[in-house]
Structure 1
Amino acid sequence: MKYLEGIAEFCAVAEVGNFTGAANKLDTSVAQISRKVASLEKQLGVKLLQRTTRSVSLTEAGTLYFEQALPALKALENAQLSVSALQTSPQGLIKLTAPVAFGEAFIAPLLNTFMQKYSGISVQCTFSNEKLDIVDLGLDLAIRIGKLEDSTLVAKKIATRHLFVCGSKAYFEEHGQPQTIDELKHHSLLVGSQPYWRFMVDKEIQSISVQGRARYNSGNALRSAALAGLGLAQLPGFYVRDALASGELIEVFPEYKDKQEAIWAVFPSNRNVAPKIRLLVDFLAQHIVSDS
């Protein structure tokens, strides 16, 4: 923005009444002040300052320009200070979306802690298992899990989670415990929103097609069915960790556990990411446990 060049220098001279004082105020040289003011006068096509060997005074055009330029310059300085302050004292509304169960278990408590830490921040979070269009809805970011579809969105991995295959003690007493992945075809499987399970075999991810009596798009419903002895389920740790610890559920195939499913923060690519958003993403990455 070439038309802004020289305005700060001219206003400094007008305020203090000489080039030396202006140079001291802006921490630059007298020659630099003189060049910038001369360039501004050339651009405007008028003399702004009347220079003599002893003093500097404003011309009529200079007085008019100074009266209108100084408030604008102060407004720009205040705008810059306000933006800089966001780095240490972020303010404003953050709008995001996250999957229902994961969001309720992990994201919501962290958002509450984040707002306690930064009192100027407010949050509007939509929990949904649908991949909402964050651009059309005007959201700042989305928390998503697993493989991302190709899109124009920008993604940052903030954590990973583990997937556990498990069933109840009662189920295993009746049907036996599978010893190989191939034996899963002889068992009752509880299917989630995706018709496959993921395993890490020889350091590579393998997806195994699964079918079963029950299919739920809810991790809580799958855990409930597994606890009821209806079959085996593959679920992230936060659904089943307590039940595994208590012995209500028993894990199978721990050696094939997929530990690489990513948790992402996703942004619209056509926006500059505000400091408050970067701060939140960094906060989530720091506090989300990677074996969720």
Structure 2
Amino acid sequence: MKVYEAIALGAKELESVCPNPRLESELLLSHSLRIDRVKLAIKRDEVLKEEELERFLKYIEKRKSRIPYQYIVKKQHFMGFEFYVDERVLIPRPETEILVEEALKRMKSGDLILDIGTGSGAIAISIAKLFPDCKVYAVDVSEEALEVAKYNAEKLGVAEKIIFIKSDVFSNIPQDVKFDLIVSNPPYIKKAELENLQEEVKKEPILALDGGEDGLFFYKRIIPDCKFYLKKGGRGLFEIGYGQREEVEKIFLENGFDEIEVIKDLAHIDRVIIGRYNL
């Protein structure tokens, strides 16, 4: 089978699976061949080796079973960096880049940052890469997620700048450490909505998705305890889900925060909420 024929076959197989089946077919084939996607055009009339075709068809079958593309190719791009991802961690989303960008805007030399629920390490590592003069603590309750985050930190050359701790929110963070910023993209999907998620999203770790009955469980856990770990004037920055702005803002105000800011994403949905601790 020739390259162009394989692309057409893959696209046909994925028609009912994803919105852009040809693109995903090309991406999976280029991954199978270990080449950049742009080189497929040059090789369009080349005949695939048996093992190359087998590998490609195996990837197509995985995608047909609704395994996310990122888990098949074991990578996701975030903030201009390539992160390793697999089923142990949530796949970093483009909208979470807003959280990183807003954190970077508020940082100064020597700042100490805490990333709660680090997952793949995308937030913590991006901050460490893009703002060299800082120190980052990255915590997660999942040992498996921390293994992925540590691997990414080594791969991207910032392992010495990040302290990884297995911790259920603040449980294992030294109480004498005070942070300038606490950032988090916590689970915020309502428990009742989990069954209605896309099949691909259901393949991601439930721990990284389940925000409790009202979707606010982790905001209610994290924000009240920020006062023990933030410097006065320090800020908490959190990604939020659709329709959660008012409730999370209320939690901030009830716990000594002021100067509340809300940043919208490209779809004009409230995506990041920021508060300054002032007690």
| TM-score of Structure 1 vs Structure 2, range by shorter chain | under 0.3
More RCO (CA 8 Å, sep 6+): 1
Q: TM-score scaled to structure 1, two decimals? A: 0.22
Q: Which has a greater percent of strand?
A: 1
